[in-house]
């Protein structure tokens, strides 16, 4: 086991617990939220999937080409139900026994790009955990859509904190054997409660019918205890913990303590971790003020936002803030096997750490610098346009970050035009979108008057998000 041996002043680092908010009064009314069962019969559906086709016309197809498609439908006892000219789509209804013949006919039409059955698709993954409905931050940050493609499998998140409740039902299946740098042994059970809440926000097991879901809910958790029973850590223990996490194969390290960006020892440790492909994420702090210390380039410092996409009143601000994440009234795991609402940048940081794990699971070859770049580029721009000392580059967006991670590229800018008339901004290197890709609008991808756009992986859901709907 390697350790970081630097002569650094031992500094007490206050845990970010001074602003914990009391549990929501709705606790007594918790109820399970489960995905709706499929309709019992075709009568409950908006249409019969077996009787409809979707036809996409080729670019430039004129009036008579469309009429020819409609006429072919009539010949097969079908009809035009509706059309969407801007997207070159036509919806046809045809008897099931004539559908295959009509599909073959239309596939030969020179003005038809694609024809396929109109189908219903299942909703995004929604966990059955009883208190998921209270986890407002997960749908807001686009986690449900992102979970369709990555939930952090194969990635380990090191939680440098007060330990983790080893018996919690939402954490027990996620835990790896860790180390206790406060007492120099292998006992990593939680002695203060903070670490259990942090771990749950990052990676609590989802869909197990127990309490809550974490962001990267298929990631593993490496518990690294760096505090005493009072919840205070030291820079020495944190430095050791970062090095240990790297040695143990963690890809993400989370530290939820006060003022971390101000300590050169931790920045140096994070820089060494980055050389080994490890992303280090830190809470911005809870002073509710503007800190005067500078940036720590290898620490991703995370501020806290509310359910209304406002900066939390307690969230520390300064040049070191990189991004923001939900951090007020976050429903997460607690010591003793339960769950409560917690507030502080202590919980915003592991939310971002869980997303980093999802990104690395989608593309394990990503370097830490690229992970940071994507998190910033895909964030929903809040506060002043572009970077600002409160939100950093904006509130994290899981759906778009995972999509960008999958293709391994950061957002870029285009002229903002929809030259092919399909309703989406075009890929600047492929204005006719022959590859079937468009540039969908991101939030903070670029500025200086250009349209903010992001080239997503082909499976990415289409979203247009100029600004948060809650922004004043």
Cα–Cα nearest to 351, from 417, 386, 306: 306
Q: Of 137, 194, 298, 427, which one is the catalytic site residue? A: 194
Q: Is 143 helix (H, G, I), strand (E, B) or coil?
A: helix
Which residue among the candidates 346, 361, 414, 468 is catalytic per the annotation?
A: 346
Known active-site residue 161: yes
Question: For residue 338, what is the DSSP state?
Answer: E
Please list the alpha-helical segments (H only) found in 216-280.
235-247, 264-275
DSSP 273-302: HHHTT-EEEEE--S-SSB------TTSEEE
161, 170, 322, 420: the catalytic one is: 161
Question: 384: burial class by Cβ within 10 Å (0-12, 13-18, 19+)?
Answer: exposed
Give yes or no: 438 in active site.
no
Residue pair 206/266 in contact by the 8 Å Cβ criterion: no
With 0-12 / 13-18 / 19 or more C-beta atoms within 10 angstroms meaning exposed / middle / buried, residue 28 is exposed
Tell me if residue 427 is catalytic: no
> Which CA distances in Å does 363 have to 252, 357, 358?
14, 10, 9
Q: Is 288 left (phi over 0), alpha (psi -120 to 50) or beta?
A: left
Helix axes 368-377, 345-362, angle to 10 degrees: 110
Three-class SS state of 440: strand
Give the residue numbers marked as catalytic.
Answer: 161, 194, 346
């Amino acid at each position: 086991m390697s350790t970081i041996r630097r002569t650094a002043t031992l500094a007490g680092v206050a845990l970010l617990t001074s602003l914990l908010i009391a549990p929501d009064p709705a606790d007594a009314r918790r109820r399970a939220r489960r995905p709706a069962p499929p309709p019992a019969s075709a009568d409950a559906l908006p249409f019969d999937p077996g009787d409809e086709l979707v036809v996409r016309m080729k670019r430039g197809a004129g009036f008579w080409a469309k009429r020819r498609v409609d006429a072919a439908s009539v010949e097969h006892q079908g009809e035009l139900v509706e059309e969407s000219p801007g997207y070159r789509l036509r919806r046809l209804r045809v008897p099931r026994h004539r559908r295959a013949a009509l599909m073959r006919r239309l596939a030969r039409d020179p003005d038809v790009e694609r024809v396929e059955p109109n189908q219903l698709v299942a909703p995004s993954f929604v966990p059955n955990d009883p208190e998921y409905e209270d986890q407002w931050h997960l749908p807001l940050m686009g986690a449900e859509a992102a979970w369709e493609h990555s939930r952090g499998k194969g990635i380990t998140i090191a939680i440098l904190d007060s330990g983790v409740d080893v018996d919690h039902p939402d954490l027990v299946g996620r835990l790896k054997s860790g180390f206790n740098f406060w007492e120099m042994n292998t006992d990593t059970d939680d002695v203060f409660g903070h670490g259990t809440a942090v771990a749950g926000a990052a990676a609590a097991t989802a869909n197990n019918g127990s309490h809550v879901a974490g962001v990267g809910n298929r990631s593993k958790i490496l518990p690294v205890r760096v505090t005493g029973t009072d919840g205070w850590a030291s820079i020495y223990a944190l430095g050791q913990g970062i090095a240990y996490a790297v040695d143990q194969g963690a890809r993400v390290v989370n530290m939820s303590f006060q003022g971390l960006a101000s300590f050169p020892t931790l920045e140096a440790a994070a820089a060494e971790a980055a050389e080994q492909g490890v992303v280090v994420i830190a809470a911005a702090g809870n002073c509710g003020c503007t800190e005067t210390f500078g940036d720590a380039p290898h620490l991703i410092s995370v501020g806290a936002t509310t359910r209304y996409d406002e900066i939390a009143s307690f969230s520390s601000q300064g040049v070191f803030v990189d991004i923001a994440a939900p951090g007020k009234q976050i429903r997460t795991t607690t010591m003793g096997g339960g769950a409560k609402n917690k507030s502080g940048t202590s919980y915003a940081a592991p939310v971002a750490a869980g997303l980093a794990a999802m990104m690395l699971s989608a593309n394990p070859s990503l370097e830490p610098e690229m992970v940071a770049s994507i998190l910033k580029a895909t964030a929903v721009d809040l506060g002043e346009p572009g970077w600002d000392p409160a939100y950093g580059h904006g509130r994290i967006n899981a759906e778009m970050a995972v999509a960008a991670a999958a293709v391994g590229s950061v957002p870029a800018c285009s002229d903002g035009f929809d030259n092919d008339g399909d309703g989406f901004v075009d890929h600047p290197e492929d204005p006719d979108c022959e590859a079937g890709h468009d540039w969908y609008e991101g939030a903070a991808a670029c500025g200086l008057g250009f349209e903010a756009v992001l080239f997503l992986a082909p499976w990415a859901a289409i979203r247009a998000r100029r600004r948060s709907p809650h922004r004043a």
